[in-house]
A and B are shown apart, each in its own frame.
Chain A
Amino acid sequence: MSSEELQDTDTEARFEFKKEQNSAFQTEKGLTEETVRLISEDKDEPEWMLQRRLRALEHFQEMPMPDWPAGPDLSEVDVGEIVPYIRPDIEVRGGVDDWEDLPENIKDTFDKLGIPEAEKNALSGVGAQYESEIVYQNMKEQWEDKGVIFCDMDKAVQEHEEIVKEHFMTRCVPPSDNKFAALHGAIWSGGSFVYVPENTTVEMPVQAYFRMNSEGMGQFEHTLIIAEENSEVHYIEGCSAPKYSHFNLHSGGVEVFVGEDAHVQYSTVQNWSRSTYNLNTKRAICEAGGTMEWVSGSMGSKVTMLYPSTILKGRGATDNHITIAFAGEGQNIDTGAKVYHNAPNTKSTIESKSISKDSGRTNYRGLVHIADGAENSSTSVECDALMFDNDSTSDTMPYMEINESKVDVAHEATVGKIGDEDVFYLQSRGLDDDDAKQMIVAGFIEPITEELPIEYAVELNRLIELEMEGSLG
């Protein structure tokens, strides 16, 4: 696929195209113990994983729906209506390592999304998930030689059992964390496992792309990243789905273990269709001197509830959050960040930019907790919101809990409209109204796009152009 075609600005052609549904195995709609057992059996999992799934199911059944003040409406999300597991019809489980070996419809999907192209140019490795399982998985040899592991999560359960058993939904994201983490724990499938050994720097990012194709399905991939002492890795996640009249549910789980002095960046460009509920739980535990960076662009979905969190566990650990939320018509993007400062000399910065237009709703919801004893910690939170019109809503709800006096805590937020004067200025220099507004938006999010690798900055800008089109005419 040529890069010109990738510049296509028709959302439907680029992201929302549909393929015939073609599965090797799928469960019935709904969620019962039997469904959970079926999934586990289809994956030939060890007994302990089945037990974890069943325990998570119990949590799910007992726990209430999330009840945040002014939280998004989740009344439509009836898990009984979701097909939780669709194994795509491919010959090799765990992903082939050549795109040519994929069935034509799946290959074509990822071609359209530009994944093979990106792999050639800018990535160390790629995993691609279609419905419930990884269909393509490849990493450049040089990294394999250094002991880096990048494989699909189902395979990791089989081949790296001990390390997965120790880290999978135990102390980072236990299923008891929230109802959708519990749901995830019960029926998770697919996702990536990344292991970076000590003193290893993976120079180019690894990427996973998640694609939902079928109507009414749920995708529950699990990502586990372990970066050992003094290692470095950048993981990028992309996602999309066609739009259907019936809702889709995405409830991913991400666990990141940042070792001493290690550095992990986790970037997401989320472009789910406007019929998708995107309810994720992402968390990192950061040891002494480690750095965790979350970069999230939330463009798609009907409802997103996403608050990547970092537990700064070791002395001198650092967290950076960068989030962009863009809510257009019918979208409710409720996103933010959580940081727990549990050790001295820890530092966090949160930068959030949100844009709402055409009755879209954005909400920054964030929590910074500084524990007693976490002296000399500092945190700075900055939220800026831009509103296009009067049907839109923009909320900012930060929470700060400070149990230590030797700290430096600052939160700032602003909300404003697109400045008529700015638009006028640009128009007077020959830009039309649309271009002027696009330019202002691009300028508004620039502090964030400049933190992204160039390919993703370009992708993000293009997605925003897509969002801006049509409604401004």
Chain B
Amino acid sequence: MSTQATSQLSEAVVREISEQREEPEWLLETRLSALEAVSDLDFPDVIRTPGRTWTNLDALDFEALVDPLNQAEEKDQTGPEDVEVLSFEEAVGGHEAFVREHFGSVVDPEENRLTALSTALFTTGTVVHVPENVNAEDVTIRTTMNSRSLFNYTLVVTEKNASVTILERQSTGADLEGERYYSGVVEIVGGENAFTQYGSLQDLSQDTYNYTKKHGDAGRYSTVNFIEGNLGSRLTKTTVGTDLDGNGSETKIVGAFFGHDDQHFDLDSRVYHNDENTTADLVTRGVIDDEARSVYEGTQNVGREAWNTSSYQRENTLMLSDESEADASPKLIINNHDTEASHSATVGQIDQEDLLYMTTRGIPESLATDMLVKGFFVPVLEEIEVEELREDLETRIAERLAR
């Protein structure tokens, strides 16, 4: 760790963050404990094969990018009346017991070096609480990062028989010279028979390093779905997962990414089937162009007690350029034989016959290629049940193609 980092990452800094927010003692302790753990913990898991590390996180000096006391952002969080959508500070002030009960219950703050760093230093956050039997309209959270580094925290609790869709967008505001670091932790607690859909569109500037950890716990008959759109950032390492803890619980993780220039996306989806009659569906599609690189890892873990499991995974990558690179590793770990599981992954280029067909009908090649790329995304876009997010993604894909 560099000396600069040491001065930024001190107990005093963490105390100052916590005091400014008049946080209770337990939260300060959690932050301090995370801070202490940072240097002992490993970076998040990345795939290593003989002679290669798919994403070299160790080479990044995350700490040097961290400027904890000058975090700035614009946050816009809105939701319908019957749902509580609070800033983290408000939530801790007004509902301390509630926050304390759930904070860190789904994502261990000390899971790895970057979650610990995030827990020690986060200054902004959102708490969404959907009470029992409430069928809520869309909740939207927009975070615009205006500083060198930003640590964000989101907690969603969907009570029994409630349902909610949350849309989160991350982007970069004020222009700053040099590299930046964004880190976000999202915890979702899905109550009995509740439905939670969490969609996010990451569109950070291309000098931003991005680490995101999102995880949901699905209780009995609960559904927790994630939609992951990744377009921005220089390097993204994201882990999205669900623990299917309750009988009959379900999850769907839908991902779309489009990398260009020298962007690097390391996208990791995980589902853990821990109880009977659970269902998971993982669908990701991505395009890489220029010198971009994508790393996809998808793990379907079926536990010993997960009788009658259904688990599916599909991943497809389209390579538009010879300088791009696509790595994929879909994994099945099956400990219960009463399981129907499958996964598939493909990597390929634009189908030359399709292209020929279109060009012979008078469509210029570049337009034909754009149309085929848009067409490639259709199967995931169709999986996105949130119209607003789907349209946003479509627009951004079209913009990127037009460039």
Residues of A within 8 A of B (CB): 70, 367, 369, 372, 375, 385, 387-390, 392-418
B256 → chain A closest CB, angstroms = 19
Known: A394-B332, A397-B331, A398-B330. A405 touches B349 (CB 8 A): yes
A83–B342 Cα gap in the complex (Å)?
44
Taking a contact as CB atoms under 8 Å apart, the answer to whether A414 and B342 are in contact is: yes
Taken together as a complex, chains A and B put the C-alpha atoms of A42 and B307 apart, in Å, by: 58
Q: Is B327 an interface residue (CB 8 A)?
A: yes
Report whether A402 and B327 are in contact in the complex, using a CB–CB cutoff of 8 Å.
Answer: yes
Nearest B residue (CB) for A381: B345
Question: Are A396's CB and B326's CB within 8 A?
Answer: no
> Closest A-chain residue to B341, C-beta based?
A415
Q: State in angstroms the CA–CA spacing of A406 and B324 once bound together.
A: 11
Given contacts A401-B52, A406-B322, A411-B346, contact A396 B339 (CB under 8 A): no
A414's partner among B328, B341, B347 (CB-CB below 8 A) is B341
Partner of A392, one of B307, B331, B337: B337
Instruction: Tell whether A409 pairs with B344 under 8 Å between CB atoms, given A395-B334, A396-B332, A402-B327.
Output: no
| Given A372-B322, A407-B348, A408-B348: A395 touches B331 (CB 8 Å cut-off) | yes
Q: Are the C-beta atoms of A407 and B347 separated by less than 8 Å?
A: yes
With A and B bound together, what is the CA distance between A1 and B343 in angstroms? 47
A381–B131 alpha-carbon span in the complex (Å): 47
Residues of A within 8 A of B47 (CB): 399
- Supply 6 A–B pairs (Cβ within 8 Å), ascending by A: A367-B49, A369-B49, A395-B331, A406-B322, A412-B343, A415-B334
> Could you say which of A397, A406, A409, A417 contacts B346, with CB atoms under 8 Å apart?
A409
A394 CA to B307 CA, complexed, in Å: 15
B334 touching A394 by the CB < 8 A rule?
yes
Binary A-proximity of B36-49 (CB < 8 A = 1, otherwise 0): 00000000000101
Find chain A residues with CB under 8 A from B345 CB. Answer: 398, 400, 409-411
Contact B322 A396 (CB under 8 A): no
- How many residues of chain B are within 8 Å of chain A by beta carbon? 38
Contact, CB under 8 Å: A413 / B342? yes
A399-B328, A413-B344, A417-B339 given; 12 more Cβ-contact pairs under 8 Å: A375-B322, A387-B334, A387-B337, A395-B333, A396-B343, A399-B49, A400-B326, A400-B347, A405-B324, A409-B347, A413-B330, A413-B342
Whether the pair A415, B332 counts as a contact (CB closer than 8 A) is: yes
Q: Which 10 A-B pairs have the closest CB atoms?
A: A387-B337, A405-B319, A409-B347, A396-B332, A417-B337, A415-B341, A412-B344, A414-B342, A394-B334, A402-B326
Which residues on the A side are within 8 Å of B49 (C-beta)? 367, 369, 399, 401
Docked CA distance A415–B341 (Å): 5
- Report B337-370 residues with CB < 8 Å from chain A CB: 337-349
Among A399, A404, A417, the residue within 8 A (CB) of B329 is A399
Contact yes or no, A401 B327, CB < 8 A: yes
Distance between Cα atoms of A405 and B324 in the complex (Å): 7
0/1 per residue, B176-191, Cβ < 8 Å to A? Answer: 0000000000000000
Contact A400 B329 (CB under 8 A): yes
Shortest C-beta distance, B266 to chain A (Å), equals 13
**B321 contacts the other chain (Cβ, under 8 Å)?**
yes
Q: B161 on the interface (CB 8 Å rule)?
A: no
- Residues of B within 8 Å of A402, CB to CB, are 317, 319, 325-328, 347
Q: How far is the CB of B55 from chain A (nearest CB, A)?
A: 12
- Choose one: A392, A410, A415, A417; the contact of B344 (CB below 8 Å): A410
- A373 to chain B: closest residue by CB: B322
The interface residues of chain B lying within 8 Å CB-to-CB of A410 are 344-346
CB atoms of B337 and A388 under 8 A apart:
yes
Given contacts A411-B345, A415-B342, contact A400 B334 (CB under 8 A): no
- Select B348's contact among A367, A385, A409, beta carbons within 8 Å: A409
Please, which residues of chain A bring their CB within 8 A of the CB of B322?
372, 375, 404-406
Contact of B334 among A375, A388, A393, A412 (CB under 8 A): A393
Question: Which residues of B lie under 8 Å from residue A392 when comparing CB positions?
Answer: 337
| Any A CB within 8 A of the CB of B87 | no
Asked if A387 and B349 sit within 8 Å, CB to CB, the answer is no
| With contact pairs A396-B332, A402-B326, A403-B325 given, residues A416 and B340 touching in the complex (Cβ less than 8 Å) | yes
Give complex CA distance A136, B47 in Å.
Answer: 46
Q: Answer yes or no: B320 CB below 8 A from chain A CBs.
A: yes
Given A401-B327, A409-B348, A390 and B304 touching (CB < 8 A)?
yes
Residue of B nearest to A362 (CB): B334
Give A444 Cβ to nearest chain B Cβ, in Å.
Answer: 14
Min CB gap A328→B, angstroms:
14
Chain B residues within an 8 Å CB radius of A389: 337
